[in-house]
Amino acid sequence: MTSTSQVPAYPRLARQLAAADVDASPAEVHGIAVGLLCAGVADAYARWEAELLADGGEGNVLVDECRRSLRGLHDATAAGLDDADMSLALVLPDDERSLAERADALRDWCAGFLYGLGIAGISTDRGLSAEGREALRDVTELTRLDAEHVADSEGEEGALTEIVEFVRVAVLLIREDLRAYRERH
């Protein structure tokens, strides 16, 4: 993420989301935002916020605090996607958390990403190259990840790191495919 000062730490964001009655993990919430941004939704932030904070919660201090964090997260994510260095980072628990917890969060992130594409009206038959469709299938497959049997080990740690990087690159490929499609149509 390019501007980490705008993005609250994962545990803090989890507390803020819970306090605002958002029934989703920070990973899933971030995945939704990335899906909307990749789809090129005109006002992705407003759509994302309306999806998460359906009640609005105007005047509620806890909801307002969550809304500020969401705005910072959205802006940093948009900047990461637009950065020439492709500095997008997935919002996941840090390495001190168990491998199973981080794998669960990756699964949630992928589900959120697909949800974001879905509410944006993106379908696999429109706008994606063969590589993009394959990347989307792989991200979809990760939503079936069962982290219950993941053991903390160096080999598993390395595998998760590689999968996270794969997802990041897959998302950037999907975004570029969708951008090119929008430019052609």
- DSSP per-residue letters across 40-86: T-TTHHHHHHHHH-TT--TT-HHHHHHHHHHHHHHHHHHHHHH-TT-
Cα 148 to Cα 31, 103, 113, 152, 156: the distances in Å are 21, 9, 22, 11, 13
Cα atoms in the Cβ-side hemisphere of radius 13 Å centred on 51: 23
As a whole number of Å, the CA-based R_g of the chain is: 16
Predicted local confidence at residue 182, as pLDDT: 86
Terminal CA-CA length for the chain: 30
Q: Which range has the worst mean pLDDT, 30-39, 77-86, 128-137, 143-152? A: 143-152
> In the structure, what pLDDT confidence band is assigned to residue 55 with cuts at 50, 70 and 90?
confident
Predicted local confidence at residue 57, as pLDDT: 66
Average the pLDDT over 27-54 and give the result: 94
Cα atoms in the Cβ-side hemisphere of radius 13 Å centred on 171: 34
Mean of all residue pLDDT scores within the chain = 89
pLDDT for residue 5 is more than 50: no
**Contact assessment for residue 32 and residue 113, using Cβ atoms and an 8 Å cutoff:** yes
Structure tokens at 34: 């990335």
Average the pLDDT over 77-82 and give the result: 92
User: What are φ and ψ of residue 153, in 5° steps?
Assistant: -150, 160
The pLDDT tens digits of the residues spanning 60-74 come to 899 999 999 999 999
**pTM above threshold 0.75:** yes
CA angle (3, 174, 159) in 5-degree steps: 75
> In the structure, what pLDDT confidence band is assigned to residue 1 with cuts at 50, 70 and 90?
very low
Q: How far apart are CA 35 and CA 110, in angstroms?
A: 9
Predicted local confidence at residue 175, as pLDDT: 94
